[in-house]
Amino acid sequence: MHDDTRAAARHAAGGPRTIWGGIGRTLLVLVTVLAISSVSVAAYGAWHLTSKFQTNAVDIGNGKPVEIAAMDGAFNVLLVGADNAPGQKHFGAKRDGTLNDVNILIHVSADHSRATVVSIPRDLVIPHPQCTDPKTGETFSAMAAQPLNTAYARGGLGCVVATVENLTGLNIPYASLFSFQGTVKMADAVGGVPVCVNKAVDDPDSGLKLKKGVSVVKGRMALAYLRSRHGVGDGSDLSRIASQQAYMSSLMRKMTSAGTLSDPTKLYGLASAAASSITLSQSLANPDTMVQMAVAVKTVGLDHMVFVQYPAVDDPVNRNKVIPNAALATALMDRVQKDEPIRLDKDSLGLSTKLGKAAKKQAAADAESTDSPTPSPTKTADPDVVAGLRGQTAAQQTCSIAYGSR
């Protein structure tokens, strides 16, 4: 099996420090509409939020009509985090163009009992399809091998969707775009997210400063945690994906334990923050659609929400980039396309995370409870486990490994 620790460390040096989380914020948007539609504040609130969402909605058809099936059954959503997003200020030096530096694909199963969340590396060198800018009508020719994060500059959110569709073989009718400011607003709106580090962190590059153990990060500190390259992990983009997954998992656990999904006041605040800080595809900027999604996502258990990194290996042409691990990526996407369960093996945690103390104790207790004093029949391999994938479930409480302490 490929040792992608070396790959991550090498290709990390290139590119700006811009990895941050996404699924939690989109799930918040979905569930908020559900709540607002079912309580007395809906009359004005729903209209106000719908107006905000639809005003900023964009066409992701890439020059063709987007066909949207009924929400019954499985569905796919792409979350895109933009570095140097349009209108972004006070987040470092302005660069020449906008990059889609975070690309997260969410697949919810047909029976709505499972969700697979795939983080695709920004530096993944892949073919790009022909793209059309919906605002200008300009057409960009197909390309054989370019990093994924150049797609936004070739036609906006629709081109990112088309490129990921080309990579995965999936139809992706729903998408959303987040800026740094959106991350800050949503972290504040949810009241902060607990994150864990195995040692104290002081990273002047990102502004991340955390004590050892668990801290609740809000606003810009949450953004710093998700952007940090020299504070946690090994300095790589793949390492930051692991931190991003730890953050998203913690956010989902907090929302579940705090009763956020059933608290109209909390949800309205989240929806209001989201409406002013994200851009949705036209297909998603619809209350009915979001309500249907919210109902589906709400039934997914934490153990069945699996966060995985899209499998990648070193790019032999450029040490700062990666290319798909063809065999493992095919195995992953084949299961997603067929809507089959995906489980992770025991060595699946990302490059910058490890189980927290509470999670270790629980794992040990679970193992002890399954021990049998008498010989047991030979165990067969779990057919749902895709060996070699990196990631975690939303139920796993993990700690980020401080830079240089692995």
Inside any domain, residue 80: yes
Residue 68: its H or E element: none
Name the residue range of residue 301's domain.
4-183+233-341
Output the pLDDT for position 150.
95
* Nearest one of 400, 362, 360 to 193, comparing CA atoms: 400
Number of helices (H), then strands (E), belonging to the chain: the values are 11, 19
**Tens-place pLDDT, residues 193-243:** 999 999 999 988 888 999 999 999 998 898 888 878 778 877 777 888 888
What pLDDT is stored for residue 55 in this prediction? 75
Tokens representing 66 are: 């987007």
CA-wise closest residue to 191 among 160, 217, 223: 217
Is 216 part of a structural domain of the chain?
Answer: no
Query: What's the distance, Cα to Cα, between the start and end of the chain in Å?
Result: 21
pLDDT value at residue 168: 97
Count structural domains, the chain: 1
Q: Is residue 402 part of a domain?
A: no
Q: How high is the pLDDT of residue 271?
A: 65
Look up the CATH number of the domain holding residue 160.
3.40.630.190
Per-residue pLDDT at 83: 75
Task: Name the token pair of 252.
Answer: 């989902």
81 close to 101: Cβ distance less than 8 angstroms: yes
Question: What tokens appear for 17 in the block?
Answer: 């420090």
Instruction: Confirm whether 396 is domain-assigned.
Output: no
- Angle, to 10 degrees, between the axis of helix 264-275 and the axis of helix 23-36? 120
Sign, CA dihedral 216-220-226-228, equals negative
- Determine, yes or no, domain membership for 385: no
Res 188: pLDDT: 79
Asked whether the beta carbons of 363 and 392 are under 8 A apart, the reply is no
Residues forming a β-bridge with 353: 400
For position 94, what pLDDT does the model report?
A: 57
The answer to whether residue 129 sits within a structural domain is yes
Residue 254 in any domain: the answer is yes
Contacts of 295 (CB under 8 A, 6+ apart): 34, 112
User: Residue 15 falls within a domain, yes or no?
Assistant: yes
Residues of the chain with pLDDT under 70: 1-52, 65-71, 84-96, 182, 258-277, 287-288, 291, 295, 350-351, 356-380, 404-406
